[in-house]
Structure 1
Amino acid sequence: MTHPSTTAAVATSPPATVEEAEAAWLAAQALPDPEPVLRALMHSDCVVVHAAVGHIHGVDDFLRYAARLGRTSNVIVHDVTVRTFGPTAVVSCLQEMRVAFVPELTPFVIQAAVTRMWVTDEQGGWKLAHLQMARRLPPG
Structure 2
Amino acid sequence: MPKSELWQRGDAMRRRLMGAATVERMAKGVYDDPLMEKFGDYAREAVFAMLWDRPGLDLKTRTLICVVSDTATHAWPELAIHLRMARRAGWTEDELSEALLHLSGYIGLPAVREAMITARTVFTEMRGEPDGGLGM
Q: TM-score, normalised by structure 1?
A: 0.27
Q: TM-score, normalised by structure 2?
A: 0.28
Task: Find the structure with the greater CA-based Rg.
Answer: 2
Normalized per residue, which structure has more strand?
Answer: 1
Normalized per residue, which structure has more helix?
Answer: 2
